Amino acid sequence: MFERVLVLSPHTDDGEIAAGGTIARFIEENKEVYYVAFSSCIKSVPNEFPPDILKIECMNATKILGIPSKNVLLLDYEVRTFPLYRQEILNEMIRLNKEIRPDLILLPSSNDIHQDHRTIYFEGLRAFKKTSSIWGYEHPWNNLTFTTDIFVRLEERHLKKKIEAMRQYESQDFRTYFDEKYIMALAYMRGAQVDYSFAETFELVRLLVI
């Protein structure tokens, strides 16, 4: 059903954290995957790292998942200020829609409370609602509630790819959600809900059936 997938990641790492296993599976199935990060979060980089480290880490992580570098776009909106640039972000998404023509969009869920994530959700809905199916991905620390409409079955090899990709973010490894135990536990718990070994879950925002 879906052959061309566009991952909208507010910041470098958001797409991998929420959907790294699904991306690895899609690549394995020869789907064409594109990835856009709207901020490299320079203000959030620890002092001991160079300012552009998250761009480098993101390129390494997406490469491990199997996304060609030509399909990865890293933008420079300032972290935690996306609402100020809503129109510019929408214009960028409209351009991407015309260039890529994605069948499926992966973006933050409708209940994500982070201001940057919410901007990407609402502008993504505006830009792609007539042309693409839209799935909202899970960030438990930002979701006061989350609707598990879609379960993507994952094998251990997909989780290993995700974990290897997340390990590229050495500048962020102090964060709880980069811990391998967390990644495996969430995938195991979501899988257990539907008798899969592992899974990632998504909110169904829009489904277009051709």
Q: Give the position of tokens 């592992």.
A: 198
- Residue ranges in the chain assigned as alpha helix (H): 14-28, 53-65, 86-100, 115-128, 156-166, 180-192
What pLDDT does residue 1 have?
80
Distance CA 40, CA 59 (A): 11
pTM of the complete model:
0.97
pLDDT level of residue 44 (50, 70, 90 thresholds): confident
**Long-range contacts of range 179-185, CB-CB < 8 Å, 24 or more positions apart?**
183/159, 184/159
Number of domains in the chain: 1
Distance CA 148, CA 62 (A): 25
What pLDDT does residue 14 have?
97
Return the CA Rg of the chain. Answer: 16
What pLDDT does residue 19 have?
98
Given a contact cutoff of 8 angstroms between Cβ atoms, the answer to whether 18 and 139 are in contact is yes
- Mean pLDDT (the chain) is 97
Domain, as residue range, for 119: 4-206
Tens of pLDDT along 148-191?
A: 999 999 999 999 999 999 999 999 999 999 999 999 999 999 99
Show the tokens assigned to 178: 């980069």
Distance CA 95, CA 36 (A): 12
pLDDT level of residue 210 (50, 70, 90 thresholds): confident
Length of the chain: 210
Tens of pLDDT along 93-133?
A: 999 999 999 999 999 999 999 999 999 999 999 999 999 99
Distance CA 171, CA 181 (A): 18
CATH number for the domain that contains residue 23 = 3.40.50.10320
Give the residue with greater pLDDT, 35 vs 1.
35
Tens of pLDDT along 53-106?
A: 999 999 999 999 999 999 999 999 999 999 999 999 999 999 999 999 999 999
